[in-house]
Structure 1
Amino acid sequence: MSRKRAEDRTDDSGAAIALRDVRKTYNSGARTVEALRGVSLEVPRGSFTAIMGPSGSGKSTLLHCAAGLDVPTSGRVLLAGRDLSGMSDDELTEYRRAHAAFIFQSFNLMPALTVKRNVALPMLLAGRRAEDAAVLQAIQRVGLADRADHRPGELSGGQQQRVAIARALASHAEVLFADEPTGALDTATAASVLRLMRDSVTQHGQAILMTTHDPIAASYADRVVIVVDGHIATSLEAPTPETVSGALTRVASNMAVR
């Protein structure tokens, strides 16, 4: 790799995630769908950003492109300082294992493994030692200490989601991607999980990018970005449930009068 190309693949902005004029187009039969239309966004290290927007707005596509799970049609994505463009699938997989953790609506737990083994698995796959104490602490933090030796089939859906969250928190990865992480949880457990995510930012310097429909969940973030029709319509700093709800109402009103 040339010196120029190596420099192009790194980033010194201090951002854990950087999207630069990212566009994503899908072909749906004879129709072309523009899921992202020139999105530029930075998530600094040690910060928490929530993405909101109506269904079909492009927020999940934005998250997937930022995580290297989807390839932009054009533009650049930098994760933990490295440009993801041009990386092979195997390179992307290894890079994500080393630098990122994920919480998705599908729990992606291994049914044959216990809760403890599921939480430890990403660290083992990344070639890192999974400290028993750290694994058990993460499980305890999501309220599942008495289920540590159970398998996913013995847990409720909400409990399986908490295992997925413990797995992400235990890794202390530089970046955590979360897609509606509290959608399957009751109110009290959701609040507890969001506090844990907030603590991971303030205590461990983790960067979090989260999609959510819930203004209360979004209020745990440092910033809320509202996506409409594939572009960023507005953003809020130091959000509260009230300011988030107000911004969503204004965005919906603007869409209605177009």
Structure 2
Amino acid sequence: MMNPTKGKSYRFALILVTSLFFFWGFVHNLDPILIPHLRKAFLLNDFESSLVDSAVFIAYFVMALPAGFIMRRYGYKSGIIIGLLLFGLGSILFVPAANTLQYAFFLGALFIIACGLTFLETAANPYVTVLGPPETATQRINFSQSFNGLAAFVAPNYIGKLILSGKELTKAQQEAMSPAQLNAYLSNEAASVKAPYFILGVIILIVAVIFYFTKLPDIKHEEEGETGSASFSGTLSSIKLRWGIVAQFFYVGAQVCVGSFFIRMCTHAAGMDEKSATTYLGSMDWPLC
């Protein structure tokens, strides 16, 4: 268990940690924008474009336990800084990915971002609960998590419209273009992600520096005679936890599938343009995070 902090004010620390909820909600809610965008930029089919989600959630699956072990060993602040560095690096890598027009490069950058988000989500949720009196822990975490919803509105409504051009060529239009014209179109489509993700990456790295120089409470786990591995295996023995994992698997799967192909459904089934579809995506009452 963790030691709650008592008798101290950690208002600035709480503001910093709460900002993480907004940042990871923000980038998660750009994924449904990237799927139709990269589909056009690389002439992908639906399966290939869905690899955007695969890159993100495979990273969560791979990094979840290592993130927890690293923070148990080196502390939550170190985990947050590692997460922010990975998040910032992955975002900046969108620039060379767009320059080289390599879809695999984009997927690699998304994987790195998601590795960073795994650290942030592992640390931030329990961290918020101990940044103040135990009796107000529920209010603090509810307040912090509300910034996920704010990010779910801001990302598609404002940044999504900057990324999506609203232009989609038919098969006939593509065939009528010369190779140079088609390459110029694809390059312009891919390039629209560079500025938003580069700016995001720089902001995240600045936040990492702020975390590094900010004095935060030292939160450690009390082992109470158990090793980390024994405690983990003991936790998995709970039937409620196992069913909770199953429920979370199907819940997130359904949530992500709907959000990821929402714009495609709007443009092809409802005849809506991409930018109008992002408005409806931003109005959905649950964040993709």
Q: TM-score, normalised by structure 2?
A: 0.22
Higher helix share: 2
**Based on CA coordinates, which of the two structures has the bigger radius of gyration?**
2
Higher strand share: 1
**Which of structures 1 and 2 has the larger relative contact order (alpha carbons within 8 angstroms, sep 6+)?**
2
